[in-house]
Amino acid sequence: RSVYGIASHEFFHTIVPLGVHSEEIEHYDFNAPRMSRHLWLYEGMTEYFAIHMPVKQGRQTVDDFLGVLREKIRLMHKFTDEVPLTTLSQQAMERQDEYYNFYLKGTLFCMGLDIALRERSKGKYGVVRLVQDLQRQYGPGKPFKDEELFAAIERLTGPDVGAFLQRYLNEAGALPLGTWLAKAGIALNDQGEPIPMQKPTKEQRQLRTWWLGR
């Protein structure tokens, strides 16, 4: 990872988890720690912001962004798909060998969530807006209850998003990256690497513009 990428990731930690977090983070007990189930948010979303911002703001090409995704996908396959991310999060102290996967699978999940939110809102609402809404609801001194976050997100978005969280965070299994990326005109080649489709549809081009800014 570049110095810029690391610095961006750490900067976005001022938003997540410093600005939005559960009671487990707010009242962390170093003597008897209770781990939150939401490292996908604290690390995965933070890393997604760090890699998505450069391409969205025109500081990076789409090909460069796909190169970042390619490396995350490659590394993700070194980790288990047999344990849900929420469970791994609660077991983070015991499963430190799996912790880095929150920067990989956690980030790629947040990418899929961003694509899904932008598709259903015709580009008007993505994960940035979602985190901003969560900040308004759970700002400094107002931590959320760990088990209630999914319901809070569902109230802000809809039952389909609640089902999305349940399926890909609370259940084990591989992420359907090919399906998610195809919606934005990006295919996975035979090696599982993301590449632009040669002839994307009008709808695919539109969603990619909403998602990546071009």
3-state secondary structure of 19: coil
- pTM for the model stands at 0.95
Residues in the chain: 214
Token pair for residue 135? 């900040």
* Residue 2, pLDDT score: 74
Which candidate, 116, 122, 112, places its Cα nearest to that of 194? 112
State the pLDDT at residue 33.
Answer: 78
User: Residue 106, CB half-sphere, CA atoms under 13 Å: how many?
Assistant: 23
Domains in the chain, please, with CATH? Answer: 3-174 (1.10.390.10)
Per-residue pLDDT of the chain in tens (214 residues, 90 and over written 9): 577 788 888 888 888 998 999 999 888 877 777 899 999 999 999 999 999 999 999 999 999 999 999 999 999 999 999 999 999 999 999 999 999 999 999 999 999 999 999 999 999 999 999 999 999 999 888 999 999 999 999 999 999 999 999 999 999 999 999 999 999 999 999 999 999 999 999 999 999 999 999 9
- H or E, element range at 45: none
pLDDT number for residue 13:
84
Question: Considering the chain, what is the average pLDDT of its residues?
Answer: 95
Per-residue pLDDT tens digits for 38-62: 999 999 999 999 999 999 999 999 9
Res 1: pLDDT:
56
* Measured distance CA(113)–CA(183) in Å, rounded: 12
